[in-house]
A and B are shown apart, each in its own frame.
Chain A
Amino acid sequence: MKHALKPSQYAILIAIMLTASMGDSLLARGMKQMGAMDIHHLGKLLLHAPFNPFVAGGIVLLIGFFAAYTTALSWADLSFVMPATAFGYVVIALLGRFWLHEHLSVPRIVGIALIVCAVGFVAGGPSRTEHPKLDQMDRGLGPL
């Protein structure tokens, strides 16, 4: 297993956390501005939502998230990237507390602590599994 990440790779992981959390926050704010939508009128939603500046900004950030996420999966395991980037949930909770002045309950504080611990567990460990079966799979001979 590979152990060390380059500084640019840490930057990609941080970009995943920030773009996902900020993109979701912008989308949520934009959709609240647009008001309640009926599930049976998705066409109307698709026509109007992209012209809301918050929704447009959210879409741009989420495209950036997808690019950073696929890049990370090209040099790290899925079971490493998923928990390592979960810190984005903490960013959302902290944005809610300090930007939107939402209440931070005890269960939420415990949730933040658990996610911080989880990120600490995986961040110090190896990022990539390497063995012959995987090399075989990479050449298109494996189970997927």
Chain B
Amino acid sequence: MTLSPVLHIWASIGFVAALAVLGEVLIAAGMRQLGDLDDIRAARGMGGTIAAVITNSRFVTGALCMAANFFAMLYALSIANLSLAGPAIAALTYIGNAIAAKLFLREHVDKRRWLATLFVAVGVFLLTR
């Protein structure tokens, strides 16, 4: 069974955005688990801070998702125009991050943040026109 070209393009765009959201949420969860890096640096120095970050499993999994996102983006750009894929992925990532932050990170996403997220998503889309 083959997907229609339009569906194929949008499935790729959705996949790239989903990988970006997953990566960002895992990295944010890892950083929250570690706490303020300035405090860690004051206690353990720069080497200890880097070691704490790169041995955090959430951070490492998130970084791997971001690496996969980079290659998925290259694939998406090989089948879709940059003028469509670029803003669509950025806008979906902004909105997806706000939803994921509320659902999985339990952040308090108030009206101010929802509005800011929407404005950025529309703004990024308009910047490419």
Contacts and interface: CB of A to CB of B under 8 A. Distances in A.
Interface of A: 1, 8, 39, 42, 70-71, 73-75, 77-80, 82-83, 86, 89, 92-93, 105, 107-108, 110-115, 117-119, 121-122, 125-126, 129, 131, 133-134, 137-140, 142-144
Given A121-B112, A129-B108, A115 B37 contact: no
Q: How large is the interface on B (under 10, 10 to 19, 20 to 34, 35 or more residues)?
A: 35 or more
Given A71-B37, A83-B117, A111-B122, A93 B27 contact: no
Contacts of B125: 111
Interface of B: 24-29, 31-38, 53, 58-59, 74-75, 78, 94, 97-98, 100-102, 104-110, 112-113, 115-117, 119-120, 122-127, 129
19 contacts: A74-B35, A75-B38, A77-B105, A78-B97, A78-B101, A79-B98, A83-B120, A89-B123, A89-B127, A107-B127, A111-B125, A112-B123, A112-B127, A114-B123, A119-B116, A125-B110, A138-B35, A144-B25, A144-B104
A111 B124 contact: yes
Given A79-B109, A83-B117, A118-B119, A89 B28 contact: no
